[in-house]
Structure 1
Amino acid sequence: MFAPFPEEKARKYCAELMQQLDIEQRIDFETPIKKSNQAFSTNNICQKNGLGQMFGICVCINQKNEEIVLKAFSGQFNSIWNVSGWVPALLDTKKFAEITKDSDLLIHQLTDEIESLNLEIKTLEKKYTEKKADYYQLQELKKLRRTKSALQKKRKTLSQNSMSEIFELYKFFCADGNSITFKDIFKDGTQPPSGCGECCAPKLLSFAFEHKLTPISLAEFYYGTEPASKKKIHKSFYTPCDEKCAPILPYILGLEILYQDESIVVINKPSGLLTIPGRGENKIDSVTTRLKKIFPNCIEQPSVHRLDMDTSGILVLALDKESHKNLSIQFMEGNVYKKYFSFLSRKPYFGKGCTLNTTKNKTISGKIELPFRLDVENRPHQIYDEIFGKWGTTNFQLLMKSETAEILHHFNLSKKQLESFEKQNVFIPISFEPKTGRTHQLRLHSSSIHGLNAPIIGDNLYGTQNENERLMLHAAELSFNHPKTKERIFFKT
């Protein structure tokens, strides 16, 4: 995943940390060298047959506007969770020890039994291959295989139960001042990946937010013996990992950051979150309010375009006035490319606002042009109006049913939402490329009898929304010129 904060300042401190590790060859820096314990020696991660470790630095500003530098290592260092001077683990280590003391013993006992059975099985299999096994030995071989399978299942169940107990010990502090657990992140009961919550970035950011610090720079590097795969190189920098960090960081930060620099931030907005605050206390939470908690120096109104609350997908936000003005002009002049994926609730019937393209293949595509305006008596609905309406233009293409799984991947549906979607008798995959940016444009172009006459699945304004259903509309691609460098940049989820 992309680094959620600028790296430059943190990298300078990382370079200093690398040098300190080289010179002192230990991590317990706060202990006098003469009293240093070999358990904290970097030999543990630099041995020929060993394996290195990730280290990270997070530069923060406290409430007195003083710079605070935090450092962390991933997981345990030589089976030790917490070391003085380093950010602590995100779980209760005493309870972890209690859980693993009993479960690890049983798991090791089962492993020994399985390995012992493997030796017996190999002996009998060799006799079977050489056709020297009699009837009773063949029966014994079958029995041993069944026993092995049962023990493997028992070990797997024991391991899963142990991991579930361990994951319940984790607690993450967030940018909004609240704390969450894995149950808040993996809401369908899915078990987190092994090692989730042990990486440097979650540890550093959680500690920062717990202590009212504002992160301004974050960087991580690998130190020690390189793996045979060479996926990690000694003293090389890496961004937070996709497997274990990507599921957690959007919850800690409140936003999934796809890209950031000194001028802009690009995020993947979840369904159900406002782009800007609405009226009333229950509508304060939004992309912009969350952004300002992470980047407090950004301008008051960083939003340059919006997505409906129920629409998910890519949003670009400006951190300074110059970038905001530049991006706003690009959107107004139609210099921004946008692509959405969606699912229609029924087969489309092309109304008078549709113009179909003539193609030799079986793909159906075209353009929708309709005038519409706010229905002042039924806000926030938009209605078709040939006299007072403003024209909106959308290019569309019906997609193949075989592309459904790939398209669904963009929506990040929960287990219940996916089950609800799979109950649909009809779902028509479609892509939209809006050329204008009218309110509810794609939703109205889909549902109107003058458009596709087929509401988007889960549209609670222009169609129907069943239980556990969300609006199946996602902004999947966005391209524009960078406001400072003028380089054309492209993003997709």
Structure 2
Amino acid sequence: MPRERSSAMALSLLYQDEWIVAVNKPAGLLVHRSWLDKAETRFAMQMTRDLMGGRHVYPVHRLDRPTSGVLLFALDPTVARALTEAFAARQVHKEYLALVRGWAPAQGVIDYPLKEQLDKIADAMSDPDRPAQDAVTTFRRLHQVELPYAVSKKHPTSRYSLVKLFPKTGRKHQLRRHMDHLFHPIVGDTTHGDGRHNRFFREHYGCERLLLVAHTLSFNHPILKVPMRIRAPLGQDVLALFAALGWPASESDY
């Protein structure tokens, strides 16, 4: 899948106070510098620091490179520790939107342990024999559609669903692997998805990205002690795609 260069990407501010900052990370942008792509020169962490006038920011969670949406940073090391502990203790509520192949069930729970996926360079020191870790995702279907296109030779039409995903754990590539396990891979996933459907969305809708959005983060503010709910806009490209599929095309519908 062609990859949009991060130099052309815009990272927008969603929330800022004295202690935390949240941004809307575009699809295709790395969170921080990685040995996996030495040629890349722009990262969400550096771009957020630039938005803050050069102030240091501390990452407290991660998003896969192809995933867009809410990315939270701390502006203080003590706050960073508190937020990192909140994520680890599953005290942060995460909501994602994903467009998947097939008609997904109306709702359900995916309780499927995941073996750690190791990168040859980044995880060179990790234990390859580590047992699978518990991984739980709940989901709810929002919309579905049947299109008059034979993407697969087995079927004269093609079906897709829009689902809301609620990861209860934070394993690597958890949502992408869980939806693949459910036989409803996320469209645009070049690692765990279906290449035929990825190609169809590229050619028919001009969609060059993974259709997975980290839509909402909800947590208690570590300093102010008030409930926080930070939401990322889906953006006009995603909403236009939803409209083309016959689904609601306003941010307020999601």
Q: Give distance in 1, aligned partners of 2:26 and 2:68.
A: 5
Corresponding position: 1:476 with 2:215: yes
Q: Give distance in 1, aligned partners of 2:112 and 2:41.
A: 33
Query: Partner letter of residue 292 of structure 1?
Result: R
Aligned partner of residue 399 in structure 1, secondary structure: strand
- Give, in angstroms, the shift of residue 454 of structure 1: 1.5
Query: Partner letter of residue 426 of structure 1?
Result: R
Corresponding position: 1:295 with 2:25: no
Aligned partner of residue 108 in structure 2, secondary structure: strand
1:217-268 deviation per Cα after TM superposition (whole angstroms, max 9, x unaligned): xxxxxxxxxxxxxxxxxxxxxxxxxxxxxxxxxx6xx421011111111111
1:404-450 deviation per Cα after TM superposition (whole angstroms, max 9, x unaligned): xxxxxxxxxxxxxxxxxxxx9321111100011111000000002xx
1:342-491 aligned at under 5 Å gives the runs: 342-348=98-104, 364-376=106-118, 388-401=131-144, 425-448=158-181, 452-463=182-193, 464=195, 465-466=198-199, 467=202, 468-491=207-230
More strand by share: 2
Query: Partner letter of residue 52 of structure 2?
Result: F
Structure 2 equivalent of residue 330 of structure 1 = 86
Structure 2 equivalent of residue 89 of structure 1 = none
- Give, in angstroms, the shift of residue 377 of structure 1: 8.0
Aligned partner of residue 214 in structure 2, secondary structure: strand
Q: Give distance in 2, aligned partners of 1:426 and 1:310.
A: 23
1:49-198 aligned at under 5 Å gives the runs: none
Query: Partner letter of residue 490 of structure 1?
Result: R
Aligned partner of residue 46 in structure 2, secondary structure: helix
Q: Give distance in 2, aligned partners of 1:429 and 1:456.
A: 10
Q: Give distance in 2, aligned partners of 1:435 and 1:377.
A: 24
Q: Give distance in 1, aligned partners of 2:141 and 2:103.
A: 10
Q: Give distance in 2, aligned partners of 1:364 and 1:310.
A: 26
Alignment size in residue pairs: 201
Q: Give distance in 1, aligned partners of 2:168 and 2:118.
A: 25
Q: Percent identity?
A: 32
Superposed CA RMSD in Å reads 2.8
Query: Partner letter of residue 321 of structure 1?
Result: P
Q: Give distance in 1, aligned partners of 2:96 and 2:132.
A: 24
Corresponding position: 1:265 with 2:21: yes
- Give, in angstroms, the shift of residue 455 of structure 1: 0.7
Q: Give distance in 1, aligned partners of 2:216 and 2:158.
A: 28
The correspondence for 1:339, drawn from 95, 101, 107, is 95
Q: Do the aligned partners of 2:138 and 2:165 also contact (CA within 8 Å) in 1?
A: yes
Q: Which runs of 5+ in 1 are unaligned?
A: 1-175, 179-183, 185-250, 349-362, 403-423
Q: Do the aligned partners of 1:306 and 1:315 also contact (CA within 8 Å) in 2?
A: yes
Structure 2 equivalent of residue 106 of structure 1 = none
Q: Give distance in 1, aligned partners of 2:103 and 2:115.
A: 26
Structure number with greater Rg is: 1
TM-score normalised according to structure 1 size: 0.38
1:5-33 deviation per Cα after TM superposition (whole angstroms, max 9, x unaligned): xxxxxxxxxxxxxxxxxxxxxxxxxxxxx
Query: Partner letter of residue 340 of structure 1?
Result: Y
Q: Give distance in 1, aligned partners of 2:91 and 2:42.
A: 30
Query: Partner letter of residue 298 of structure 1?
Result: R
Q: Give distance in 1, aligned partners of 2:26 and 2:64.
A: 11
1:102-128 deviation per Cα after TM superposition (whole angstroms, max 9, x unaligned): xxxxxxxxxxxxxxxxxxxxxxxxxxx
TM-score normalised according to structure 2 size: 0.71
1:371-424 deviation per Cα after TM superposition (whole angstroms, max 9, x unaligned): 1123448899xxxx9x8111111111122338xxxxxxxxxxxxxxxxxxxxx9
Extract structure 1 runs of 4+ deviating beyond 6 A. Answer: 377-380
Structure 2 equivalent of residue 285 of structure 1 = 42
Query: Partner letter of residue 397 of structure 1?
Result: R
1:54-94 deviation per Cα after TM superposition (whole angstroms, max 9, x unaligned): xxxxxxxxxxxxxxxxxxxxxxxxxxxxxxxxxxxxxxxxx
1:165-213 deviation per Cα after TM superposition (whole angstroms, max 9, x unaligned): xxxxxxxxxxx9x9xxxxx7xxxxxxxxxxxxxxxxxxxxxxxxxxxxx
Q: Give distance in 2, aligned partners of 1:286 and 1:377.
A: 19
1:303-327 deviation per Cα after TM superposition (whole angstroms, max 9, x unaligned): 1011111111111111110110111
- Give, in angstroms, the shift of residue 296 of structure 1: 4.8
